[in-house]
Amino acid sequence: MGRVPPRPREDPRPLKGVLRSFGYALEGLRYAWRVQRNFRLEAYLGLLALLLALWLGVDPLPVLLFSALVLSLELMNTALEALTDLTSPVYHPLAKAAKDAAAAAVLLASLFALLGGLYLFLPPLLRRLGLS
């Protein structure tokens, strides 16, 4: 196995260091956006839910929290997929368990977000449409 390259030395200037970490995080966001169709879909759905909340006059905070949860878990899932592909490019039951469990975390959060969305939006939506 090749040698691990040394970690770059920490920048002694605090602001520079923070800005550099921020840049790496943005690179991670760009990577997930490029390679993960689900991440893009979840981001668009979150935006749609936010617009719906504003239109219906519903508190947008729960929408933001659910979106943050789902998108963050999708990012962790993306990270885990990349690591699994790196360490286990051939089939291994533990690689399967890791990927499946990470996918299950996103699924679970998405289901709760869906239930939360129905609870939040259904009554005002029915009222707005004159159906209740």
Active site residues: 74
**117 backbone φψ class: left, alpha, beta (φ>0; ψ -120 to 50):** alpha
The helix or strand, by DSSP H or E, that contains position 54, with its residue range, turns out to be helix 37-56
Q: How far apart are CA 97 and CA 79, in angstroms?
A: 15
Is 125 a binder of ligand ATP (CB under 6 A)?
no
Determine whether the annotation assigns residue 37 to a binding site.
Answer: no
Which of these ranges, 41-49, 57-65, 98-106, 110-118, lies near ligand ATP under the rule CB under 6 A? Answer: 98-106
State the binding string over 72-91 for ligand ATP (x if CB under 6 A, else -).
---------x------x--x
The rounded Cα 63 to chain-centroid distance in angstroms is 14
Query: What residue ranges bind ligand ATP (CB under 6 A)?
Result: 36, 38, 81, 88, 91-92, 95-96, 99-100, 103
